[in-house]
Structure 1
Amino acid sequence: MAKVIQFAFDCADPAALAGFWAEALGYVLAPPPAEFETWDAALDAWGVPPEERNSRSALIDPDGVGPRIFFQRVPEGKTAKNRVHLDVRAAPGLTGDERMAALSAEADRLIAMGASEWYRLEGNAMDEGIIVMYDPEGNEFCLD
Structure 2
Amino acid sequence: MSTSKKFQVTFDCADPERVARFWCEVLGYVVPSPPEGFDTWDDYHRSLPAEERGAWFACTDPSGEGPRLFFQRVPEGKVAKNRVHLDVRVGTGLVGAERLAVLEAECARLVALGAVHDRTLYADEENESCIAMQDIEGHEFCID
TM-score for the superposition, normalised by structure 1: 0.92
**Post-superposition offset of 1:35:** 4.4
- Aligned-partner Cα distance in 2 for 1:5–1:25: 16
**Match in the other structure for 1:62:** 62
Contact kept, 8 Å, 2:20 with 2:57, in 1: the verdict is yes
Corresponding residue of 2:32: 30
How many pairs align?
142
Would you say the 8 A contact 2:22–2:113 is kept in 1? yes
**Structure 2 counterpart of 1:39, from 38, 41, 51:** 41
SS of the counterpart of 1:102? helix
1:43 is displaced (CA, Å) by: 4.0
Q: What letter is aligned with 2:143?
A: L
Unaligned runs of 5+ in 2: none
The alignment yields a C-alpha RMSD, in angstroms, of 1.5
Deviations 1:25-54 (Å, cap 9, x if unpaired)? Answer: 00001222344433344445xx40356321
1:82 correspondence with 2:71: no
Identity percentage over the alignment?
54
SS of 1:29's equivalent in the other structure is coil
Structure 1 segments of 4+ aligned residues over 3 angstroms from their partners: 34-37, 40-44, 49-52
Scaled by the length of structure 2, what TM-score is found? 0.92
CA distance in structure 2 between the aligned counterparts of 1:41 and 1:69, rounded to whole angstroms: 22
Distance 2:68 2:119 in 1: 28
Match of 1:16 in 2: 18
